[in-house]
Structure formats: structure tokens, C-alpha cells
Structure 1
């Protein structure tokens, strides 16, 4: 572990902790505040990959995964109105989605590293974000995976409602996933600006 990319580890840890806290607070009908902080994890991973390479990027992701596991363990001990803030399904879904999506992000980024500067971060984040959303919401709330935690009643997530309030009828968790995915896509585009600025700053050759 070198000091050069230690700030990346701190940044990833901060994103994971903040997202685990903010996911408890609703933003509108379909989102939580955590939906706006979590995608920053892809920005951190992509900056680390571009500046230091995929090895250090993987170490930053693994550090974020460990922090996420700790947050989940703490969440299982905090009781909310309807039980623990973090259930087994949410813990598994969160950890599996984070690790899979971030490592996939690194692989896609590395494959496109030699192209235009925006192609690798944009494509890797879009792919990683899509996989992240699909994995988390399916594992955490899909009725077909209720065997993961039979005692956890998530029937509320299966309530059939118009998609995002006006589309075709679908389970509630699908609307939650779609809203989350749309935020991730929008932030993937916006993140290109700080990505470019941060990378240029970190790779600038110091002058004497």
C-alpha cells in the first residue's frame, strides 16, 4: 500500500459510509439521498484506474467493500420502525453489487484505456452502474429470491403499481431500481467533468 493512492481509499470509504447513512432518507417517492452519493464510487475507481492502474484501483475497491461490510454489520444491529435497518438480503445485495460492479468497471475501463479520454470512464460507469442496480434490487427485493431470507417479509416491494407512477404495471421494486439507474446514468455523464479535471491535476508534471 503506497501513500500515493491512499487518498483514493479515503475517498472511497467516505462515499460508502455517506451512502449507507443517506440511504435511510427518502428523496421524493422513488429515491433516497444515497442514490446521489453512491455513484461517486465509480468516479473514484475510474480516477484511480486512469492515474495509477487497475491494480491500485482494485485495492481501493476492496477497501470500499470492507468498509461496506462493516457498515452493513452495524446496520443489522440498529433497529428501525420495521426491524433492523439492514437485513441479510440488503447486506448480501449491497456487497455483491458493489464488488461485482466495481471490478467490472475496472475491466471495461482497462479494455478501453487507449481510446478517447471520455470513452473508458463513460462506458465502464454505464456498464458497472447497470449491473450494480440490477444485482442489488433483485437480490434485496425480488420475490423470486425470497429463499435468501425467508423470515424477511418484502412483500411490500412486490406491490404492483404503475412504473414510476405512470408507466405499465410492475412491482414497486422495479420502479425503485429504474429511478436509481436513471440517476446513475445522469451522474455518469456529469462525472466526466470532475474526472477530467482530477486526472489532469494528478498527472500534471510539476515545474521547477
Structure 2
């Protein structure tokens, strides 16, 4: 446990920071949390590369527990329009994180023997896409209103041009696409710190 403690701390910090920063808007389609949350994939991939699948999964499960705690706290804090975290958001967040991160771990492990960049890039791209799809669908899709009937998410279903200029789609789809684009961009950028951190922690693997 001691050897992966930095990864555990980093994952916990990312989860906590993202849960806080998601409350603050960045432009029309994003929150500040969109820029911190993808770092979780970097943490997972570094742990996987340096310490292996079991260690990476342990870090993921600890991050999941921290996320659940943050969500439970958020459901008890009342904001201007109700709880800071609704049950749909809590469920979507937890399922998205766990599913995407474990998928990331599995894909990374299958590709670890290839070029150094292939495993972190492929696993993060797939994991990020799954994360976005699960979270935004559960949290805001009108077809899943039964998950929390008392939570009015009709605002998320407002028909608007996609990202302000594309085909008409529910607002939550624009939010999801914007979030997904940030994740994909950061997946490419994260290759640089991934390479640097792995070289520092385990030069023979770089």
C-alpha cells in the first residue's frame, strides 16, 4: 500500500477537486471540473504502467469511495436550486467513474507491450468516451426521469443548436459533447506528463 500511496493521494485529490470545481461554470457548456477530472485517467495509467493492474484497480476503487463520499455530502448541502448534488448526478458520477476507470485499466493492460504512448492514449480515449456517455445520460436524459422523479431536469432537455451552431439537440447533449472534447484534448496532452512521471518512477519502463 505504501508504494502506491502517492497515487492514492493524487486520485483522491483529483476526485475532491473535481467535485468542488464542477459547481463553477466555465463558459456556456463546461464547468471547471471538466479540466481536472480527466487527470484521474493519468493517475490510473501511471499506476498501471509502474505498479501493475492490481495496484491501478486499488487506486480506482479508493477514488470511487472518495467520490461516493463527496456525492453523499453534496446531496446534503442545499444550494439556490436545491441540493448541490442530486441523486441522479450521484448515481451517474459513481457508475461512470467506476466503469470508465476499470475499462481504462483493462485496455491499458492489453496494450502495455506496444509503443509507450499506445496504451495510455487508447485506454484514456475509450474510458473518457464511456465516462461521458454514462454520466450525462444517467444524470440528464429525459427517458431516465424515473430514477429521481422529484428532480426536474426538463431544463437539460431544451432543444438547442448543438454547441450553439450545430443541429438541434437536447441541451444535455451539448454539455456532454463539450465535456467529451475536453477529455479527448487532455488525453493527448497527458501523454507528456505520463512519459515524464513514468521515467522518474521507473526509468527501465520508459
TM-score normalised by the chain length of structure 1: 0.97
Q: Secondary structure at the match of 2:169?
A: strand
1:32 deviation in Å? Answer: 0.1
Deviations 1:120-148 (A, max 9, x none): 00000000000000000000000011110
Question: What is aligned with 1:81?
Answer: 80
Q: Distance in 2 between matches of 1:73 and 1:152?
A: 16
Cα RMSD of the aligned pairs, angstroms, is: 0.6
Question: What is aligned with 1:56?
Answer: 55
Matched, 1:17 2:16: yes
Question: What is aligned with 1:141?
Answer: 140
- Structure 1, unmatched stretches of 5+, are none
Question: What is aligned with 1:176?
Answer: 175
Aligned residue pairs, count? 204
Q: Distance in 2 between matches of 1:192 and 1:89?
A: 33
Q: Secondary structure at the match of 2:23?
A: coil
Question: What is aligned with 1:110?
Answer: 109
TM-score normalised by the chain length of structure 2: 0.98
Q: Secondary structure at the match of 1:161?
A: strand
1:185 deviation in Å? Answer: 0.2
1:204 deviation in Å? Answer: 2.8
1:93 deviation in Å? Answer: 0.1
Q: Distance in 2 between matches of 1:149 and 1:101?
A: 23
